[in-house]
Chains A and B, each alone.
Chain A
Amino acid sequence: MAETIQQKQSIKEFIATIPFNKIGIKELLNFEKTPQNMLIAVITLAFLAFFVLGVATYLMHGHHAYNVTREHPWGLLIAVYIFFVVSSTGLCIVGSLGDVFGFKDYEMISKRAIFGSIVTIMAGFAVIAFEIGHPVTMLIYNVLSPGLTSAIWWMGTLYGLYLTFMIIEFVFLLKHNMKMAKIFGLTGLLVGLAAHSNLGGVFGFLNARTISNGVFYPTYFILTAFITGVFIAFIMMGFRYKLQFPENAKVMLTNLAKIQALLISILIFFVTWKFLTDIYGDMPNRAEVARHILGSWTFWAEVVLAMLIPLFIILKDMGKNLTGMFWASLSGMVGVFFMRYNLVHDTQLKPLQMMKTTEYQLAPTWVHYFPSMAEIMISLGGLGLCILLYYVGTKLFNLDADTHH
């Protein structure tokens, strides 16, 4: 008995000693009122308003507020959820470079990246909560009757654990307890990678969808997560230093840029071979879907924005043009969004019933989908939420590396 009271007390003390800045509304509104900052503030507020509007529409009309159909049951919100959790996994990888693997140069971004990974996955959860029809039932039956053969079960459960580990790691980072941060960081990273490859498995396990079936997505997800993490690292550091990077940041970012060049090259190699094998031999269903994808502008948006532009900018000055990389990373994130959207949409392109099933209907060719207003609003809202949480975090915590050692 006495022991539990003692334990409780020490937990209380542990929580009470987490260093944070006491701030009020006044401090929150206290930022440099430059035109850029004002613009970002207004956009964020608009996105948050969209979120409220989108959710309200959903609560009134249920899934009818979305353009998902029997043939295309997964829409924009699934893509946006993937976008956020990929970002989270990527930031976790970038954050781990310093505090888990001990690369000294990267320690300066660890805390910021780990905080970013918490914020992005929360935004992802906020979005998916309005896509899953019954989120509360999910919490109950995930435990009561777990579907152990389901990639969604593993993905969801592991991501839940991952979030917990990330939060604990972040607390230890704040407390400057590097040993514990390393333990929880490594566990979190491994769980996160497992969760993330399971998310790829959600698509890879679809035997019925030859275009997605196989080992490609589970591995590709990890690679693109790392790439996404590096993009966001540039964006966060760009904002932190207003593009006037100090010397140590320059060293780190130049190295990151070089890693990014390698990663993007591998990605281009992967994607090229995916399409070559998809089309080679004209396997029915797979080859025609691949050709259809190659003819869609969203695919080329992904290639140009997330692969070609960033790679070109890095290679031009061997990673030294950091301002250029900041902008290329913004382009990269738009490209990564298309990457996620394409992956979800392309999986469902091919109708599974191969004959027309109702009168006055043409034989099925391609399944069409364009997101509804509610879907778009909730998605932008997720982004708004993410920016808001991150901003609050920068006020609440010291996200820079601690100088005292």
Chain B
Amino acid sequence: MARYGMALDYKNCINCKACEVACKEENGILMGADKHRIWVGVKEIEGEYPFLNIASSAFEPSQCQHCDDAPCQSVCPTNATYYDENGVVRVDADKCILCSYCMNACPYDARYVDDRTMTVDKCNFCSDTRLARGETTTACQNTCPTKVRTFGDLDDPESEISILLRTREHFSLKSHLGTKPKLFYLT
């Protein structure tokens, strides 16, 4: 019984999008711009040459936040969205009725429709691929050339992620909504 989370040293992101590709490859995600579990947000440089605001440019890699208090879960009429024993927010395709309520309720736009099952899909920390095979890393983490991601058990004080969160300042996205995300951005 773990409580999985992920820390992102996001300032190291170089927008190579290797994570987007690795996730599609590992988890068999369909092609198409809409069909993604993971993305890199790009904020363009502001200002007119030569007064460019270099600090304004940013890359923000993201995915499902695996909220501890997930709005997508509370709104699901059939409990198709559930917390698994590791605190990972997952979708049971057999129960999903594609009412799309969760897509509207998720504050992070982390959900999309998988055209094969016509149900909602999202990042599940590679739970039915890599973790199921006994591996301890996720595909997006493993592939990253600048090692942006650290995945691990938040309940284990000795885990790499717990140490990181104790020693580095961090924030989470839209935390004012009370979703208690388990994705942490290191500053």
Chain A positions near chain B (C-beta within 8 angstroms)? 62-64, 68-71, 73-74, 132-135, 137-138, 141-142, 144-147, 149-153, 156, 202, 205-209, 347-348, 351-358, 363
Determine the distance from Cα of A132 to Cα of B62 in the docked complex, in whole angstroms.
29
Residue B77 contacts which of A150, A207, A356 (CB distance < 8 angstroms)?
A: A150
Interface centre among B71, B80, B105, B178 (most CB of A within 10 A): B105
Contact, CB under 8 Å: B177 / A207:
yes
Taking a contact as CB atoms under 8 Å apart, the answer to whether A150 and B98 are in contact is no
Residues on A with C-beta less than 8 A from B115 are 62, 64
Knowing A69-B34, A153-B77, A355-B60 touch, does A141 contact B109 (C-beta < 8 A)? Answer: no
Instruction: Give Cα A132–Cα B77 distance, bound, in whole angstroms.
Output: 12
A74 touches B100 (CB 8 A): yes
Contacting pair A352 B107 (CB below 8 A): yes
Nearest residue (CB) in B for A357 is B39
CA distance A149 to B105 in the complex (A): 13
A150 touches B109 (CB 8 A): no
| Additional 16 contacts, C-beta under 8 A, given A355-B43, A357-B41 | A63-B98, A70-B112, A137-B95, A138-B97, A145-B79, A146-B77, A147-B75, A147-B77, A147-B78, A152-B77, A206-B104, A207-B71, A208-B177, A352-B109, A358-B33, A363-B43
Q: How far is the CA of A208 from the CA of B99 in the complex (A)?
A: 17
- B101 CB-CB contact with A under 8 Å: yes
Q: Which residues of B contact A (CB under 8 A)?
A: 33-34, 36, 39-44, 58, 60, 62, 71, 74-80, 94-101, 103-109, 111-113, 115, 118-119, 174, 177-178
Cβ A141 vs Cβ B118 within 8 A: no
Check A74 against B97 for contact (C-beta < 8 Å).
no
| CA gap between A347 and B44 in the complex, in Å | 27
Complex Cα distance, B119 from A151, in Å, reads 19
B108 touches A150 (CB 8 A): no
Is A70 within 8 A of B109, CB to CB? yes
Inter-chain CA distance A137–B117, complex, in Å, is 13
Bound form: Cα–Cα A64–B186 in Å: 39
Q: Is the CB of B108 within 8 A of A132?
A: no
13 contacts between A and B (CB under 8 A): A68-B100, A73-B113, A133-B99, A137-B97, A145-B78, A146-B79, A149-B75, A205-B74, A205-B105, A206-B105, A208-B106, A355-B60, A358-B39
- Knowing A134-B118, A145-B78, A151-B75, the reply to whether A73 touches B103 (Cβ < 8 A) is yes
- Chain A residue with Cβ nearest B75: A150
Q: Report the minimal beta-carbon distance from A343 to chain B, rounded to whole angstroms.
A: 13
Report the separation of the CA atoms of residues A353 and B39 in the bound assembly, to the nearest whole angstrom: 10
> Is there contact, CB below 8 Å, between B178 and A152?
no
Given contacts A69-B34, A73-B100, A352-B107, contact A147 B76 (CB under 8 A): yes
Minimum C-beta distance from B20 to chain A (A): 9
A200 to B107, CA, bound (A): 19
Contacts of A151 in B (CB 8 A): 75
Q: Are B78 and A138 in contact (CB under 8 A)?
A: yes
- Chain A residue, CB-CB nearest to B82: A145
Known: A150-B75, A153-B77. A145 touches B106 (CB 8 A): no
**B118 contacts A352, C-beta separation under 8 Å:** no
Query: Smallest distance from the beta carbon of A392 to chain B beta carbons, Å?
Result: 31
A146: chain B residues within 8 A (beta carbon): 77-79
